Amino acid sequence: MDILLFALSIIMVFYALFVVLCYVWMVYSAYGEMEKYKKANDYIDYSLLLSSPLVPGISIIAPAYNEELNINYNVKSLLSLYYNLYEVIVVNDGSKDQTLQQLIEEFDLVKVNFYQQNKLNTQAIRGIYRSKNHLYFRLTVVDKENGGKADALNAGINVAKFELTATIDVDCILDNNVLLKLARPFLTHGKDVIAVGGAVKVANSSTIFNGRILDVKLPQSLLAKLQVLEYIRAFSIGRLSWSSINSLILVSGALGVFNKKVLIESGAYQTDTVGEDIELIVRMRKHKQKQNKPSKVVYVPEPLCWTEVPEDVNVLIGQRNRWTRGAIDTLLRHKDLLLNGKYGALGLFAIPYWYIIEWFSFIIQFVGFFATLILIISGLVNLKLLFLIALCSLLFYWILSVIALLLEENSYSRNPEDGSVFKLWLLIFIEPIIYHPINIYAAIRGNISYFKGNKSWGNMSRKGLN
């Protein structure tokens, strides 16, 4: 028994060291990457890119399901982005409400007999609509049978005419310059770039007018505020650091631009997974590797997309449960990538990181919590030692959060509100105690649901941003 406990302790010490080293490296590389981006971005005249006829065309695909409340505002905001060559394809995924009717009336749509290439199999298309009003010449609406987000995106890809495909959540608020910023890596890095993503921020309680963010504010709800902190940490440290060694495997489903050719060749979105965003990137990378061609996934560290986060604990748990299932599904589908040197840093570092930190760590924390309780009750643990270990872990966690805030503050942050940083700083101290356990609980439920074969999206009801 003693030997077993000793072996477990050694494993846990090495695990803790691995986690600490991982985060130290991530902070270091995220800082370097941000400085590099800022300097390169400093002298770019985006207005030139805006007026250029040479920019790659972008087809924005926005799947919509029961979005009647905000659909008109959101589509208008998509139609007024700053870019020379783009189209907007809204895919009505068999909504049960008046989403389609709203669009038809607002944008003067008529059904057209559109010639479709049908490169990807999807649920039946009921009709394709275009506007009689020349103001909305960029807009195409696809009405189809319900098949889920991935199926709707594939239907949009079939209709898309440009070489780049941007997929967004229709309820997100986009920055006017989003397409200019996301198209640039395709110009500078060339055809190696298969996908580009941007930072996603929390929009709850911000002032929004006509589908545009006017004033960025901290959310009023505590749960949403804590998610602001979590998003800052994930994007300022996580995405940037993996992007620095070209090992990013996640471009947020809320906002991403893809090379359409590679997207179609690699089979586009899979309809039998709930983590279609992460799964797609991994598959696209594998596809390029099979062709012996390099692939690059670029992260643009600027706030380009605002989303509404759940303010209800049950909805949050449901969302995280789905994210966990999506990640596990992707990791197991593509397990051949694990420690596979053929994929370079992706196989040797990024994928093991996802296994150890994004998947197993929640299980370890969950089991560790109960094991510690048992040890305390049975008096087998030195309480002072336990307290110090817990304190060190907390301090490390707090330091990471402060660094994330620092990186955010040193970048393109849009927190002009006086006192917002101080409020976030205060939240850092309560986050691991009241918010992190919710995440652990959701991840454990996600693990159980995954192995039970649950593939549902769950309840994602929100208040709406307008």
What's the min distance (Å) between Cβ of 373 and another protein?
20
Using CA atoms in the order 225, 228, 233, 236, what is the torsion angle rounded to 10 degrees?
-150
132 counts as binding another protein under rule CB under 8 A: yes
Comparison of 96 and 134: residue with beta carbon closer to another protein? 134
Pick from 28, 35, 363, 371: which binds another protein (CB under 8 A)?
Answer: 35
CA–CA gap between residue 228 and residue 231 (Å, rounded): 5
Q: CA-CA distance, 314 to 389, in Å (whole number)?
A: 31
From the list 7, 8, 391, 434, which residue makes contact with another protein (rule: CB under 8 A)? 391
Q: Does 396 bind another protein (CB under 8 A)?
A: yes
Q: Which is nearer to another protein, 52 or 101 (CB)?
A: 52
* Residue 173 near residue 294, CB atoms below 8 Å: no
Rounded Cα gap, residues 396 and 91, in angstroms? 45
Residues 440-454 as b/e (b if ≥16 CB within 10 A, e otherwise) read: bbbbbbbbebbeeee
Q: Which residues inside 166-225 make contact with another protein, applying CB under 8 A? A: 186-193
CA distance 360 to 15: 11
Closest to another protein by CB, 136 vs 299, is 136
**Tokens found for residue 235:** 């994007």
Binding flag, residue 313, another protein (CB under 8 A):
no
Residue 417 interacts with another protein (CB under 8 A): yes or no? no
- CB count in 10 Å sphere of residue 2: 6
Distance, in Å, from the CA atom of 299 to the CA atom of 243, rounded to the nearest integer, reads 6
| Of the residues 1, 115, 370, 380, which one makes contact with another protein according to CB under 8 A | 115
Q: Name the one range near another protein by CB under 8 A: 267-275, 322-330, 390-398, 443-451.
A: 390-398
272 binds another protein (CB under 8 A): no
The reply to whether 338 sits near another protein by the rule CB under 8 A is no
Cβ nearer to another protein, comparing 136 with 450: 136
Q: How far is the CB of 133 from another protein (least distance, A)?
A: 10
Nearest Cα residue to 328 out of 286, 284, 362 = 362
Query: Which tokens hold the place of 386?
Result: 């336990």
Mark the segment that binds another protein (CB under 8 A) among 59-67, 111-119, 201-209, 210-218: 111-119
94: left (phi over 0), alpha (psi -120 to 50) or beta: left
Residue 150: CB minimum distance to another protein, A:
26
Give the span between the Cα atoms of 461 and 411, in whole angstroms.
32
Question: How many other C-beta atoms can be found within 10 angstroms of the C-beta atom of residue 29?
Answer: 17
Binding residue (CB under 8 A) for another protein from 388, 430, 434, 460? 388
Can you give the binding site for another protein, defined by CB under 8 A?
35-36, 39-40, 42-43, 45, 48-49, 52, 54-56, 110, 112-115, 130-132, 186-193, 382, 384-385, 388-389, 391-392, 395-396, 398-399, 402-403, 405-406, 409-410, 421-422, 425
